């Protein structure tokens, strides 16, 4: 019995080796991809399997080619034809081998989008099956008039629990596939040097002013102004902890921070895997030019977090939750058991840009009344819309599958979900383009665990459109990548400080202690 098992085992592996040889042959056989649209074909009603799914999406006229992978197990090669609505003959076609990977030529793509700006593209997919060529039902992409800010800054990190290892903040040029490193921690583990980096934030979609945090070793907050940068640290008896979630004032050298005592716990048998909750949180204001910090809100019965300025900088929006009633003894142990009763509303308060003083808070979104909870409020740069993440409880919606993006029209006051942009899985961290027409956000719709960056058109009527995955040169990239995209932020220009500058600051510079101002 054992011998026959052994033999079948060996045969299995021999067949594998034969397959390898077969693949090699195919690779050689398909070294020249087809590109001419077949003249003879039959129509098929089979549903088209493609990844990423770019059907019926609205795309910016300056976006990189939307490469995708076709999946048709009976096809040996593919041809895809792109045609612009305005000039059908002006399109182009490209092909793929059995792997179905469509690699679109950048210059042809740019010309096509230039021609199709404000109109639609028709995409026809042809597959070469044993019986001949077939054509799938063509689909369309709409090319918007408005461009997206060309740079996207994000962090790549494993969708981890407690540990982190190699991680970095990167900047992608959305008009092509170039990626620059803003900063990376060490690539190998060293307990003396390992540090976490997070929560990069820019002033009004401009990299002139930027901050990012460093935790654990070499900790501090890196503040940049043009090509200059320094490291500061917020530490004072009156402040809970260093600044966490940050938002630059749109015009003044001010950063509103939340200061959080954050903890996380791990479910043993639940739909969600992790809960991240605050055991306390306040709001603080940091003056970057004077290196001063002061408290904005400090309450004992509320948790305030996720500050966000209005477009003109005269209001500060933030999330706040009432502390549930419970015994003071074993506070944190009791709090964690009530994790799902922490419901965050969105409040705002006026800000005097001359005296730097805040007025009385007023409620903007009373989510707790609906037994819901808000997080990450962001006001559009045109000042009209407030978009936020909305889920059943808590504030760290990255781990809440029911989290969706919702919108409040600040002019009309109505509140609605961005249904077209949302999915059945997590939508959480989001940011606006400077023209208020594009949103990028984190979504776990692909596989539930690995956060990916999606881009969605947001029209002048305040409606979000079908979102599409950040395009990659290799369409399989997102399936293979074992890291999550965090905190996607759009900017009009590239980060101005160099990686070496940031590294030097982190490793070789003592953080300046921010002065606390009563």
Partner 1 sequence: MDIRKFIPRSSARGAWILFFLLTWLWASWWMGDSFRIAREQSFFAFDATLMHGLWQQPFGFLWIIGRAILVLYRWPLLGGLVVALMLTGGTWLIAYCLRLRPDSRWHPLCYLPAIAWMAWVAWIGLNIYFQAESGRPFGILFLVVLICAIDAFVIWTFKKRGTHPAPSHQEVSGKWMWSWAVILLLLYLLPFAITHLRHPYQRPFTRMQVQLLHDDWQGIIQTAHDNAELSYRPLAADYAIALIHTGRLADDLFDIRLDYDTLFVKGYGNYPNVGTGLYQIDCDYHAGLFRTATHHAVEHLTMMGPTLFSLKHLTRLALLDYDWPLARKYLLILKKAPFEGDFVARYEPMVGHPELVDADPVFAQLRLTEPVNDAFEGQFEEPSFLGYTATMMVGRSKEALMQSLMACLYSKRMPDFLMRCQPLVGATLPRSVAEGLVTQVSKEPDILKVFPQLNMNAQMFQNFIRTNQFAFKDRPTYARKLFNTYKGYYPYYYFFGNLKATRKRSDEEHGGSKAGVN
Q: Which two tokens stand for residue 500?
A: 């070496």
Region binding partner 1 by CB under 8 A among candidate stretches 8-16, 72-80, 236-244, 463-471: 8-16
Region binding partner 1 by CB under 8 A among candidate stretches 153-161, 288-296, 405-413, 452-460: 153-161
Nearest to 87 by CA among 68, 113, 107: 113
Q: Smallest distance, Å, CB 445 to partner 1? A: 9
Q: Which residue has the tokens 């989008």?
A: 113
Q: Which residue has the tokens 């976006």?
A: 63
> Which of 135/273 has CB closer to partner 1?
273
159 is a contact residue toward partner 1 (CB under 8 A): yes
**Which residues, 319 to 348, sit near partner 1 by CB under 8 A?**
336
450 is a contact residue toward partner 1 (CB under 8 A): yes
CB 153 within 8 A of CB 212: no
Nearest to 312 by CA among 364, 249, 375: 249
Phi-psi region of 316 (alpha: psi -120 to 50; beta: other; left: phi over 0): beta
Interface map 271-290 toward partner 1 (x if CB under 8 A): --x-x---------------
6 is a contact residue toward partner 1 (CB under 8 A): no
Among 22, 352, 474, 515, binds partner 1 (CB under 8 A): 474
CB 377 within 8 A of CB 363: no
Cα 483 versus chain centre, distance:
12
482 is a contact residue toward partner 1 (CB under 8 A): yes
Cα–Cα distance between 150 and 173 in angstroms, integer? 6
402 is a contact residue toward partner 1 (CB under 8 A): no
Cα 284 versus chain centre, distance:
25
Among 6, 7, 8, 13, binds partner 1 (CB under 8 A): 13
Q: What is the DSSP letter of 464?
A: B
Among 4, 130, 270, 510, binds partner 1 (CB under 8 A): 270
Region binding partner 1 by CB under 8 A among candidate stretches 58-66, 370-378, 435-443, 473-481: 473-481
180 is a contact residue toward partner 1 (CB under 8 A): no
Among 85, 99, 158, 206, binds partner 1 (CB under 8 A): 158
> Which of 29/265 has CB closer to partner 1?
265
Q: Which two tokens stand for residue 455?
A: 């881009």
Q: What is the DSSP letter of 466?
A: -
CB 180 within 8 A of CB 162: no
Please work out the total of residues on this chain that contact partner 1, with binding judged by CB under 8 A.
Answer: 38
**Which residues, 350 to 389, sit near partner 1 by CB under 8 A?**
none
Cα–Cα distance between 200 and 339 in angstroms, integer? 27
Task: Please provide residue 104's backbone torsions phi and psi, each rounded to the nearest 5 degrees.
Answer: -85, 135
Among 322, 476, 496, 512, binds partner 1 (CB under 8 A): 476
Q: Which two tokens stand for residue 329?
A: 């003894």
CA dihedral 350, 286, 251, 304 (to 10 degrees): -40
266 is a contact residue toward partner 1 (CB under 8 A): yes
170 is a contact residue toward partner 1 (CB under 8 A): no
**Interacting residue ranges for partner 1, rule: CB under 8 A:** 12-13, 16, 158-166, 187-191, 265-270, 273, 275, 336, 446-450, 474, 476-477, 479-482
């Amino acid at each position: 019995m054992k011998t026959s098992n052994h033999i079948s085992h060996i045969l299995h592996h021999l067949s594998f080796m034969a397959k390898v040889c077969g693949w090699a042959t195919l690779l050689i056989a398909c070294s020249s991809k087809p590109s001419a649209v077949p003249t003879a074909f039959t129509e098929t009603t089979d549903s088209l399997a493609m990844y990423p799914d770019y059907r019926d999406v609205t795309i910016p006229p300056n976006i990189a080619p939307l490469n995708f992978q076709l999946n048709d197990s009976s096809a040996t090669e593919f041809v895809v034809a792109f045609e612009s609505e305005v000039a059908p003959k002006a399109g182009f076609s490209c092909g793929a081998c059995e792997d179905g990977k469509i690699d679109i030529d950048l210059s042809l793509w740019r010309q096509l989008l230039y021609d199709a700006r404000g109109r639609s593209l028709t995409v026809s997919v042809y597959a070469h099956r044993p019986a001949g060529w077939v054509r799938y039902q063509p689909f369309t992409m709409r090319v918007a008039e408005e461009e997206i800010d060309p740079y996207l800054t994000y962090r790549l990190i494993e969708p981890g629990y407690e540990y982190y290892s190699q991680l970095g903040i990167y900047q992608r040029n959305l008009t092509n596939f170039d990626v620059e490193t803003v900063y990376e921690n060490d690539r190998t583990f060293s307990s003396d040097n390992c540090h976490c980096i997070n929560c990069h934030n820019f002033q009004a979609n401009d990299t002139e002013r930027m901050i990012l945090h460093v935790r654990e070793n070499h900790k501090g907050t890196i503040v940049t102004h043009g090509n200059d940068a320094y490291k500061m640290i917020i530490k004072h008896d009156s402040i809970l902890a260093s600044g966490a979630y940050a938002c630059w004032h749109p015009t003044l050298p001010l950063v509103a921070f939340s200061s959080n005592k954050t903890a996380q716990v791990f479910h043993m048998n639940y739909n969600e895997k992790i809960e991240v909750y605050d055991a306390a949180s306040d709001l603080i204001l940091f003056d970057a030019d004077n290196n001063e910090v002061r408290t904005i809100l400090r309450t004992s019965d509320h948790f305030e977090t996720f500050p966000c300025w209005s477009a003109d900088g005269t209001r500060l929006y933030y999330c706040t939750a009432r502390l549930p009633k419970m015994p003071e003894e074993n506070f944190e142990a009791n709090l964690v058991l009530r994790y799902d009763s922490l419901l965050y509303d969105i409040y705002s308060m006026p800000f005097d840009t001359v005296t730097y003083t805040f007025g009385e808070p007023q409620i903007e979104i009373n989510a707790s009344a609906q037994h819901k909870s808000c997080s990450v409020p962001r006001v559009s740069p045109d000042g009209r819309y407030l978009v936020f993440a909305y889920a059943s409880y808590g504030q760290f919606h990255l781990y809440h599958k029911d989290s969706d993006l919702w919108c409040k029209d600040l002019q009309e006051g109505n509140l609605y979900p961005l249904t077209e942009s949302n999915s059945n899985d997590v939508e959480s961290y989001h940011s606006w383009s400077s023209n208020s027409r594009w949103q990028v956000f984190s979504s776990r719709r692909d596989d539930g665990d690995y956060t990916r960056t999606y881009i969605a058109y947001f029209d002048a009527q305040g409606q979000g459109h079908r979102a599409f995955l950040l395009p990659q040169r290799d369409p399989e990239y997102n399936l293979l990548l074992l890291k999550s995209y965090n905190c996607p932020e759009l900017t009009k220009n590239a980060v101005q400080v160099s990686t070496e500058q940031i590294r030097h600051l982190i490793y070789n510079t003592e953080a300046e202690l921010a002065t606390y101002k009563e």
